Amino acid sequence: MSASAPIIKIDGISKSFGSFKVLDGLSMQVMPGEKLALIGPSGSGKTTILRILMTLERIDGGHIQIDGEQLYHMERNGQLLPADERHLTRMRQKIGMVFQLFNLFPHKCVMDNVTLAPMLTKGTPRAAAEKRAMELLEMVGMADKAKSMPVQLSGGQKQRVAIARALALSPKIMLFDEVTSALDPELVEEVMNVMRKLAAETDMTMLLVTHEMGFAHDFADRVLFFDRGKIVEEGKPDEIFRHPKQERTQGFLKKIIAAGHRV
């Protein structure tokens, strides 16, 4: 596949929770290596997009292509069939996700949290998995806590471990779902620093859902403003944050600033 083809291609997807239509015919594309920030009010569908990409939620309609392949469909004899578990498993190798509440495995130490998936899903030998885990823990500044249990860590430390855990599978796409929202204010910065470094040093494609506008500004190449399941406005961080064109974007940013967030 050529370098100019999008790595994520979302084509007219819709998703409802009961009678609430979160996404209605949404289309968007992400280029390889792009760092995207998804912003917007609660319930605008940003998190749902990440969860759909991670196959945690199914779509009601539309198509998604990841790295040139259908995510929720399989091509068989020129026909598109719903994806089975094997297809999903193969597609999930391309995607990693970091959650708002970390979702670490509480009964496993930091090291085991990071090495478990590579050993089980890729058959990586323990020694190699641990070597790679130490490199990643080093990168997120958690190497000295490798033997600690999650309960012994602060929120910021847990989240850094969760980032290392997702990276251990070397996905092409990383999804970050409000990764600093559950943290005490003084711990937000340490997680952001790790992610800034990650964004600068890797060519992974990253999608970030956040309410930290200053962070979105530093982190992203492109910012998408969502409202009611639609992309209202998109552009370079400076355009969106300094010179928003749409009224709804302006209103949202004003409210965020009034609430004391740094832009």
Partner 1 sequence: MTQWSGYFGLILQGALVTIELTLMGSVLALFMAFLAGMGRLSRFFVLRALATAYIEFFRGTSIFVQLFWAYFVLPFIGISLTPLQAGVLALGLNVGAYAAEVVRGAIQSIGREQYEACIALNLGRWQGMRHIILPQALLVMLPTFGNNAIELLKATAVVSLISLTDLTFQAQVVRAQTGNTLVPFSTILILYFILALLISWGVRSLERRMARGLDGVRA
- Give the C-alpha separation, 133 to 136, whole Å: 5
179 scored as a contact of partner 1 (CB under 8 A): no
Residue 262: both structure tokens together:
């740094």
- Give the C-alpha separation, 83 to 71, whole Å: 7
Q: For partner 1, which stretch binds (CB under 8 A), given 53-61, 130-138, 180-188, 207-215?
A: 53-61
104 scored as a contact of partner 1 (CB under 8 A): yes
CB 88 within 8 A of CB 242: no
| Interaction pattern, residues 67-86, with partner 1; x per rule: CB under 8 A | ------------------x-
User: Strands 95-98 and 173-177, how do they pair?
Assistant: parallel
Q: Residues 103, 139, 170, 228: which binds partner 1 (CB under 8 A)? A: 103
Q: Which residues pair with 209 in a beta bridge?
A: 38, 177
Q: Which residues contact 257 (CB under 8 A, 6 or more apart)?
A: 263
Q: Residues 10, 74, 166, 220: which binds partner 1 (CB under 8 A)? A: 166
**Counting every residue, how long is the chain?**
263
Provide the minimum distance between the beta carbon of 184 and partner 1 in the complex, in angstroms, as a whole number.
18
Q: For partner 1, which stretch binds (CB under 8 A), given 28-36, 143-151, 202-210, 229-237?
A: 143-151
**Residues found near partner 1 in the complex (CB under 8 A):** 54-56, 85, 89, 92-93, 95-97, 99, 101, 103-109, 116-117, 120-121, 148-149, 151-152, 165-166, 169
